[in-house]
Every structure is written in C-alpha cells, then in structure tokens.
Amino acid sequence: AQTVTQSQPEMSVQEAETVTLSCTYDTSENNYYLFWYKQPPSRQMILVIRQEAYKQQNATENRFSVNFQKAAKSFSLKISDSQLGDTAMYFCAFIPGTASKLTFGTGTRLQVTL
C-alpha cells in the first residue's frame, strides 16, 4: 500500500518570500506520478504541478517548483515570490503507473502574510 506523509500541518510565509512544503511517500512501485494540489477556501482542488518518477529533471511551473528525490522518496514544493493568493491548503498526492486512484497526504495549511 502507498502512503503519503506531510509533516507540516501549518506554514506561514511573508509576501514575496520563498517557502518549501515537505512531502514524503512510501511505495514499492518503480513507475508512478506525484502531484501537488492547492485547495483555497473555495474548496476547489487545483492541480499545481506534477512530476513523473522516471524523469530526473524537477518539474517547474512559473513560481512553483519541486525537489524530487526518488531514492529518498521525497517530493517537496517550493513557492517563490509568495503571493496572498497562494494562501490555501496544499496536498501532496501519489498515483502508481498501474492504478487509477490518487493517494493524498493530510495537507499543509499555508498562510501568506503582508
């Protein structure tokens, strides 16, 4: 069974600063995909970034980037130049290449302050 662990229940960052959210996972699969989702107060689940396990290059989407360490089973999210609109719950998620269901972590609540 796969598990996803987010060890930071809450984080705070000042506007324009950089913050890193941690995620570790456990799996015996070799082919899989990892995701970060953002859930603002509106409750909408928004895909922020995805990473394919067989790609060594870390994914980047504008101000969002990941540090994917396959051997350590670590998948952290870095948010640069934080904006007030980044305030949300952030969920790390995992899906094996052979299955269809996402496994989510328990989330990190990020607060961006002035």
Partner 1 sequence: NAGVMQNPRHLVRRRGQEARLRCSPMKGHSHVYWYRQLPEEGLKFMVYLQKENIIDESGMPKERFSAEFPKEGPSILRIQQVVRGDSAAYFCASSPRDSTNYGYTFGSGTRLTVV
* Contacting positions for partner 1 (CB under 8 A): 4, 33, 35, 37, 42-47, 50, 52, 91, 93, 95, 97, 100-107
Q: CA 51: distance to chain centroid? A: 10
Nearest Cα neighbor of 38 from 83, 72, 96 is: 83
Least Å distance between CB 106 and partner 1? 5
Nearer to partner 1, 3 or 14 (CB): 3
Other beta carbons less than 10 A from residue 111's beta carbon: 14
Nearer to partner 1, 16 or 66 (CB): 66
Nearer to partner 1, 56 or 114 (CB): 56
Strands, E, within the chain: which ranges?
Answer: 3-5, 10-14, 19-21, 24-26, 32-39, 46-52, 60-61, 64-69, 74-79, 88-96, 103-104, 108-113
Distance (Å, rounded) from C-alpha 60 to C-alpha 69? Answer: 15
Nearer to partner 1, 97 or 113 (CB): 97
Least Å distance between CB 15 and partner 1? 26
Least Å distance between CB 101 and partner 1? 4
Least Å distance between CB 16 and partner 1? 28
